[in-house]
Structure 1
C-alpha cells in the first residue's frame, strides 16, 4: 500500500483559516480600544475609526499578504507530499511563510 500525503487544498484552507483568525483578532482588539475625546486630527490618518484603520492596514499590507499567500501555497505543496495531516500542513505552511516574509522584510530593511 502506498503512503499518501495530505490534501493540498485542505492544507491551504487551514492556513487561510489561520490568517482569518489573526485578522479577526486584530479587528476585535482594535474595536475594543476607546477613543480619546480630545483628539488632534491635524495629522494625516490620525482620526480614523478602528474599522477604517484595519482597512487601511489591509490595503497598505497587500504586498505582505501576497507574499504570505505565495509562500503558503509553495510550502503547502511541498509539505503535503510528506505529511499526512492537512491541519499540520496548513499550520506549518502558514508559520513557515510568515517566517520567510519576515526574513525578506528584514533583509529589505537592512539593504536600505
Structure 2
C-alpha cells in the first residue's frame, strides 16, 4: 500500500535553509574581520617579537577566528614554543606589556588572548 503525502508545506525546510545561509554569512564576516585584524597585528608587532613569540602568535592565528577554546595558558606556550616555564612567563608578560595580549585570571587560571582591538 502506498502512502500519499497530502501536505507539501516546505516552510520548515525553508526556515532551516535560510538560517543556515545566515549563519554561514555571519561566520564569513567574522573570518574576514579576523583576517584584517591579523594583518594589522602582524604589521604592528612583527618587529617587536622574538622567534618564540612570533611562533606562538602564528600558531594562534592559524587556529582561526575561534582561537584557542579557553585562551592561551603559560603551559600551552611552553609546549608550543618548546621553552621553559620561566621563559614562557617572561615572554607572555612582555606581550601583555606591549598590548599584544590581554591577560585574564590569576595563577593556574591565567589565560592570554590576542588583543586585536588596538
TM-score (norm 2): 0.33
Q: Which has the higher helix share?
A: 1
Q: Which has the higher strand share?
A: 2
- Structure of greater relative contact order (alpha carbons < 8 Å, 6+ residues apart): 1
